[in-house]
Homo-oligomer: A and B are copies of this chain.
């Protein structure tokens, strides 16, 4: 099963109470593919300027990320600069320079048009719709979005929702989209607009997966040290879809396991600055952490109280 992500390939400058980075590899497609490629090969479609450190991209792709769909355009790469609060619970965007990303019009290479599993990273919903026009027979379409598009491109976003299988957002985005603060009613609102499933990420509290008639919950991994939450949501998506593409299984059991792989990748993302949390992660480490996740919520069945 081929796995495609379309999203940003950026340079992030992040300030946290524990340190800072400048012009480090970032962007939704980078986090997604670094995480997802631990489980399954990933093809990336995006754009960078001619200032992008392409050699660094190659370095983080030992397990097979195909960067050939990343166009190199004349101009500056997308740059984001942000600062986190002392408890990492909130962040402030200090600067956003779109650069060549402002004129990004995703053009899918021939091979990407045949993608089975498609992740539409957080970009303009009009472009996300454009991508869907180019893929021939996708088996699973998952999309992300953000408050900026929820407010600014609502109509395109609602048109997109009719065409995706899963919307994957964080809790504040789900609330803003639905206009309802109750997260379960928000999910129902979203399900009524097209997706058959919604995944709501809640940061340190884990993530929920909701269908019309069923909910699944995965906690966040218990971490005593968190360094940089940037990209955790995209790494979650990478783990989620990497697992599904690898297994070729879209049953509800497989979706539950995919949530655990997603949470596992999210836990690596926050453990280091930028994508460095993945530096030494091997598939065998992933397997150990997945088992610990399963134990984290395992309830041994006993006699009923009568």
Residues of A within 8 A of B (CB): 39, 86-87, 181-185, 188, 202, 204-206, 208, 210, 214-219, 222-226, 243, 246-247, 253-254, 256-257, 260, 283, 286-287, 293-302, 304-306
Contact = CB atoms under 8 A, between A and B. Distances in A.
A174 to B, nearest CB: 13
A219 B298 CA distance: 12
Contact of A305 (B222, B243, B298): B243
A7 B39 CA distance: 52
- The A contact surface, by secondary structure, is mixed
A299 B305 contact: no
A230 to B, nearest CB: 18
Contacts of A86: 181
Nearest to A215: B222
Nearest to A85: B181
A210 B219 CA distance: 14
7 contacts: A184-B222, A184-B223, A202-B205, A206-B219, A208-B222, A246-B305, A287-B305
B224 A188 contact: yes
Given A205-B205, A257-B299, A298-B299, 16 more contacts: A183-B204, A202-B205, A205-B206, A215-B222, A215-B296, A217-B297, A219-B297, A246-B305, A247-B305, A253-B302, A254-B302, A256-B299, A257-B300, A260-B299, A283-B306, A293-B299
Given A217-B219, A296-B215, A302 B185 contact: no
Contact of A301 (B214, B222, B294): B294
Contacts of A210: 222
Nearest to A300: B253
B287 A87 contact: no
A182 B243 CA distance: 30
Nearest to A88: B181
Given A181-B87, A283-B306, A296 B224 contact: no
Per CB-CB distance, the 8 closest pairs between chain A and chain B, nearest first, are A297-B297, A205-B205, A217-B219, A253-B300, A87-B181, A215-B222, A184-B224, A294-B299
A302 B287 CA distance: 11
Nearest to A303: B247
Contacts of A218: 297, 299
Nearest to A293: B299
A291 to B, nearest CB: 9
Nearest to A257: B302
A287 to B, nearest CB: 5
A212 to B, nearest CB: 12
Contacts of A287: 304-305
Given A184-B223, A188-B224, A224-B185, A286 B298 contact: no
